[in-house]
Amino acid sequence: MDQRSSSLADVLERVLDKGVVIVGDIAVNIVDVELLTLRLRLFVASAQTAKEMGMDWWTGDPFFAPRAAAVAELARSNAELRTQIAALEQALGVQAVTREGLL
């Protein structure tokens, strides 16, 4: 069992949603305390922890993203083509200068 100190996400999950709850007007009605809890909730859901919290599930789901691998391949071949075009342009540029020189 993991005996390291718990991650913030783990602690948040326990202290925010669980435990004894005070309802009614005895609870100090500071909007900001509510806001604070809300912020912490947002933190749990933020992009930083989304992966750990499993909220980016669709990105790896083959049904929703069957072409994820194809998209990566497309990006790779795009980059390759761009490099080739740059090389060709450079070669053409050299040729143009050469041609001017010939004229």
Partner 1 sequence: MKAQGLVVYAVTRNHELTSGIPVRLITSGAIAAVVADADLEVLAKLDVEPIEEGPLAALVREHDAVVRAVAEHEPVLPLRFGSVVREDDDVVRLLDSGRDEMARRLDEVEHHSEWGVRVEHVAPVSAAPTEGLSGTEYLLRRKRELGDAERERRVRQDAVGDLHASLGRHAKAVTTGQRRPQALLDAAYLVPHRNRAAFEAELARLRTPLERLGATVHATGPWPPYSFARIELAVSS
Distances (CA, A) of 2 to 5, 6, 9, 15, 73: 9, 9, 15, 19, 38
CB-nearer residue toward partner 1: 26 or 102: 26
> Residue 12 CB: number of other CB atoms within 10 A?
17
Tokens (6 digits) for 94: 């050299």
Q: Which is nearer to partner 1, 27 or 94 (CB)?
A: 27
Whichever of 61 and 89 has its CB closer to partner 1, that residue is: 61
Contacts with partner 1, residue ranges (CB under 8 A):
1-2, 6, 8, 10-28, 30, 32-34, 36-37, 39-40, 43, 53-55, 57, 60-63, 65-70, 73
DSSP secondary structure letter of residue 64: T
In the bound complex, what is the minimum distance in angstroms from residue 92's beta carbon to partner 1? Answer: 30
In what helix (H) or strand (E) does residue 72 lie, and over which residues does it extend?
helix 68-102
Q: Write down the least CB distance from residue 78 to partner 1, Å.
A: 15
